[in-house]
């Protein structure tokens, strides 16, 4: 059975150079993707020229004022970046990214590509819990926007869909965006209430919890158990439970 790739959005943040958007539309058509989202301006004339036999994707592209708006209905978000380091950890290799996408066949996935010049702002990057990095020449790691999108689409399209339960946990019951954000806020709130954080905290626990949850992809039972465990901690420390709603 072939994977449904219509649930995967290719999201471009303020693309600058004419032609890149058109080339991405063409590669999306090559690999059976259809949902193109653009933060910023509509495609230019040259984009339509390069979108050979793929103009319908450009014509149906959704335009947004901000990345936050573009992600409003997306359950999981993966950003692509050439930068890596202590403050910019790599969460997924391209193959791991493709596996992650196929493991969540019922959820909407957003693949985010930043500006050709400076990528994503810190605020935009904070909207993307997972980061994927393409290994390249360390002396010249910057990959053209359209080529990066092509590599991502190819990895997903060519990755064999997991259908054998022995290959891993069945993730078709993973909770969506709303429930994931709710349990994230609850866990972080409990930690705040019990004064877990020190005055000179060096770990960004809010980001850590977000990454942990999107990597875990909990189902409803797991969410319930997390609530139960953290509520019990809250009772032991503060003498009372913490409401979830």
pLDDT in tens, 57-93: 999 999 999 999 999 999 999 999 877 656 677 899 9
Q: What is the pLDDT of residue 163?
A: 45
pLDDT of 7 over the 90 cut: yes
Q: What is the average per-residue pLDDT within 198-218?
A: 92
In this predicted model, which residue has the larger pLDDT, 171 or 175? Answer: 175
Contact 23, 50 (CB under 8 A): yes
Strand ranges for the chain from DSSP E: 8-13, 35-39, 62-64, 76-80, 109-113, 130-132
Radius of gyration for the chain, computed over Cα atoms and rounded to the nearest angstrom: 20
Q: What is the average per-residue pLDDT within 158-184?
A: 76
Per the prediction, the chain carries an average pLDDT of 89
pLDDT band of residue 166 (cuts 50, 70, 90) is very low
Q: d(Cα 28, Cα 97) in Å, to the nearest integer?
A: 17
Which residue shows structure tokens 């994707």? 57
pLDDT of 210 over the 80 cut: yes
Could you tell me the fold of the domain covering 5-166? Answer: Alpha/beta knot (3.40.1280)
pLDDT of 1 over the 80 cut: no
Q: For 30-34, 140-144, 162-166, 231-235, which range has the lowest pLDDT when averaged over its residues?
A: 162-166
Q: What is the pLDDT of residue 2?
A: 57
- Domain positions in the chain are 5-166, 177-238
pLDDT of 130 over the 50 cut: yes
Helix intervals (H) in 51-176: 55-59, 67-70, 94-103, 122-125, 145-158
Q: d(Cα 242, Cα 48) in Å, to the nearest integer?
A: 54
Burial 153-165 (b: 16+ CB within 10 A, else e): bebbbebeebeee
Q: What is the pLDDT of residue 85?
A: 59
Rounded to two decimals, the pTM is 0.88
């Amino acid at each position: 059975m072939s994977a449904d790739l219509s649930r995967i959005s290719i999201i471009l943040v303020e693309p600058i150079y004419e032609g890149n958007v058109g080339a991405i539309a063409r590669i999306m058509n090559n690999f059976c993707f259809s949902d193109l989202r653009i933060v910023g301006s509509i495609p230019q004339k040259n984009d339509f020229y390069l979108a050979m036999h793929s103009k319908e994707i450009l014509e149906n592209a959704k335009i947004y004022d901000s990345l936050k708006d573009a992600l409003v209905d997306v359950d999981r978000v993966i950003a692509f970046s050439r930068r890596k380091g202590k403050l910019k950890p790599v969460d997924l290799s391209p193959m791991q990214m493709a596996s992650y996408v196929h493991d969540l066949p019922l959820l909407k996935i957003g693949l985010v590509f930043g500006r050709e010049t400076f990528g994503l702002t810190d605020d935009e990057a904070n909207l993307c819990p997972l980061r994927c990095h393409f290994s390249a020449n360390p002396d010249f790691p910057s990959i053209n926007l359209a080529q990066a999108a092509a590599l991502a689409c190819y990895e997903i399209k060519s990755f064999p869909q997991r259908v054998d339960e022995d290959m891993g946990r069945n993730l078709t019951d993973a909770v969506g965006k709303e429930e994931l954000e709710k349990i994230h806020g609850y866990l972080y709130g409990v930690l705040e209430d019990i004064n877990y954080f020190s005055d000179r905290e060096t770990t960004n626990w809010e980001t850590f919890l977000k990454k942990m949850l999107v990597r875990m992809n909990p189902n409803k039972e797991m969410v319930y158990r997390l609530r139960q465990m953290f509520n019990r901690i809250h009772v032991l420390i503060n003498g009372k439970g913490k409401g979830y709603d």
